[in-house]
Amino acid sequence: MTDAPAPSHTMPTFSGDAMTGQTEPLPPHDIAAVQLADEGLRRIEWAEREMPVLRLIRDRFVRELPLAGLRISACLHVTTETANLMRTLKAGGAQVTLTASNPLSTKDDVAAALVARFGISTYAIRGEDNATYYRHLNLAADTHPHITMDDGCDLVALLHQQRRDQLSEVLAGTEETTTGVIRLKAMAADGALAFPVVAVNEAQTKHLFDNRYGTGQSTVDGILRATNILLAGRRCVVAGYGWVGRGIASRLTGMGARVTVVEVDPVRAIEALMDGHQVMTAGDAAAWGELFVTATGNINVFREEHFRVMGDGALLANSGHFDAELDLVALTRLAEGHVREVRNDVREYDLGEKKLYLLAEGRLVNLGAAEGHPAAVMDMSFAGQALSVEYVAQNHASLARGVHVVPAEIDAQIARLKLEARGIFLEAMTEEQIRYTSSWDQGT
């Protein structure tokens, strides 16, 4: 581990620490308005009520300090749930720095509370431009992290592309989302990944619940908050029938929408069909749909040829990681400058013969126009993050460079704690059943 100097920022004011009641200087930060701290604190505490697993982990971390002496830089969506994860890591003894993983998903009051109530260094301003985003990412890297945490691989990519001298200081990392894991696997395949990274997304207690139920519900929430449309009877197109797409399609169906799925994978497409949805090509779906939601992790899923055949008033939203799933360059070109904001998070593109509406600038609509996943779901994902950080802190020396799965015991522990927090206990196999299921010579 190296001892890096703290970033040189002014720390002029004093604040209360929500956990200890003590006053201490504000940590280095760049946020919208520190005055929002009290509102942020109330909302962080509200989320915490729904996060019993993370609370239990925090209680243990306070006693055991498994992260003592470690510097952690996290590039995650700055939400109430992330704030509770950051508190947990700090309680474990780590020096934590947080930077936004998406310019639109930052909740400014949460950033303020992290800085002024929890003493956690935070770099995030909702709506920050690209230059500010990367300046913030670099500030997080300036702390010379021992452990990186990513949601989309931006911090790991920065270290590998522009700050290679720091690579040897990093013990390990964690990655939250599908898109980040795909990038990491590509780096590992090229022999380029310089340290071990645990793919939290691959944990069953992550993607089965977060991607499916969390994104499913919060994507619909974002669309409704932005537009207040009626979903019952509406023709909705979901592109991608992975964990996220399945969740969105099932929630839209639950609200009475008619759903068509666009897929490139035949197995996923047949699954969509048997789940009761229609399956079409993007071209056919473009002419059919009224609301379009992308969740593929791919680029230009809907593009000029599709915008041309969409009907007047069609709504476009994305819930995949990057804002590249809709070809916004083509959309802007087709509108020839006739673009205006018509509501918060709704932008109108006037194509002359019709108008198309883009939600949340084509960025993750569940985070841009709503509050992201419900805390109860993030409780499991972030329990996976906290336990994975503890795991890499203890085991980094024996982990090879590359992408690692979350150990099965961590998955089982999270699921068990979540059930127990709800007063639900598991059946246990009898001795006879254990013998039966582990033998090969007993038939019917």
* Interface with ligand NAD in residues 207-236 (CB under 6 A): 207, 211, 215
| Cβ 177 to ligand NAD shortest distance, Å | 4
Contacts (Cβ under 8 Å, ≥6 apart) of 162: none
| 90 or 306: CB nearest ligand NAD | 306
The 3-state DSSP class for residue 193 equals: coil
The span of 5-13, 160-168, 259-267, 345-353 binding ligand NAD (CB under 6 A) equals 259-267
State CA 77 to chain mean position distance.
6
Alpha-carbon 204 to chain mean position: 15
If binding is defined by CB under 6 A, does position 295 make contact with ligand NAD?
A: yes
Residue with tokens 């024996």: 398
DSSP character at residue 78: -
CA proximity to 385, closest of 41, 98, 28, 23: 98
Closer by beta carbon to ligand NAD, 36 or else 380: 380
By three-state DSSP, how is residue 265 classified?
A: coil
**Residue 364 DSSP label:** B
Find the shortest distance in angstroms from Cβ 92 to ligand NAD. Answer: 25
Out of 242, 289, 362, 384, point to the residue binding ligand NAD (CB under 6 A).
242
- Residues numbered 316 to 345 that lie near ligand NAD (CB under 6 A) are 319-321
Q: Which of 40, 196, 289, 297 binds ligand NAD (CB under 6 A)?
A: 297
Nearer to ligand NAD, 37 or 364 (CB): 364
Q: Least Å distance between CB 259 and ligand NAD?
A: 14
Which ranges of 143-265 does DSSP label H, i.e. alpha helix? 154-162, 178-189, 204-206, 215-227, 243-254
170 token code pair: 């990093």
CA distance linking residue 114 with residue 334, whole number of Å = 42
Contact between 296 and ligand NAD by CB under 6 A: the answer reads: yes
From the CB of 360, what's the least distance to ligand NAD, in Å?
A: 10
Beta strands, E only, 13-103:
14-16, 23-25, 29-31, 71-76, 95-100
* Footprint of ligand NAD on 139-178 (CB under 6 A): 177-178
Complex with ligand NAD: residue 171 or 261, whichever CB lies closer? 261
- Determine if residue 119 is left, alpha or beta; phi over 0 gives left, psi from -120 to 50 gives alpha, anything else beta: left
Binding residues with ligand NAD: total (CB under 6 A): 29
Q: Does 380 bind ligand NAD (CB under 6 A)?
A: no
Between 266 and 337, name the residue whose CB sits nearer to ligand NAD: 266
Candidates 351, 234, 228; CA nearest to 288 is 234
d(C-alpha 129, C-alpha 59), whole Å: 38
Closest distance between ligand NAD and the C-beta of residue 215, in Å? 4
Task: Using the minimum distance from each CB to ligand NAD, give the nearer residue, 56 or 264.
Answer: 264
- Residue 440 in contact with residue 414, Cβ under 8 Å? no
Among 132, 138, 298, 332, binds ligand NAD (CB under 6 A): 298
| Alpha-carbon span 222 to 77, nearest angstrom | 15
- 104 lies in the site for ligand NAD, by CB under 6 A: no
Q: Shortest Cβ distance from residue 243 to ligand NAD (Å)?
A: 4
**How far is residue 62's CA from residue 182's CA, in Å, rounded to a whole number?**
34
Should residue 240 be labelled a site residue for ligand NAD when binding is judged by CB under 6 A?
A: yes
R_g of the chain, CA atoms, integer Å? 23
Choose the stretch contacting ligand NAD; rule: CB under 6 A; options: 123-131, 314-322, 335-343, 423-431.
314-322
Tokens representing 200 are: 């939290």
Instruction: Show the tokens assigned to 410.
Output: 């961590």
Residue 43, interface with ligand NAD (CB under 6 A)?
no
- Candidates 66-74, 92-100, 125-133, 261-269; binding stretch for ligand NAD (CB under 6 A): 261-269
Q: Helices (DSSP H) in 263-374: which residue ranges? A: 266-274, 282-288, 304-309, 328-335, 365-368
Q: Judged by CB under 6 A, does residue 301 bind ligand NAD?
A: yes
Would you say 335 or 364 has its CB closer to ligand NAD? 364
Nearer to ligand NAD, 27 or 240 (CB): 240
Q: How many CB atoms lie within 10 A of CB 398?
A: 7
Q: Select the residue whose beta carbon is closest to ligand NAD and give its number.
A: 242
> Judged by CB, which is closer to ligand NAD: 286, or 335?
286
Which spans of this chain sit near ligand NAD (rule: CB under 6 A)? 177-179, 207, 211, 215, 239-245, 262-265, 268, 295-298, 301, 319-321, 364, 366-367
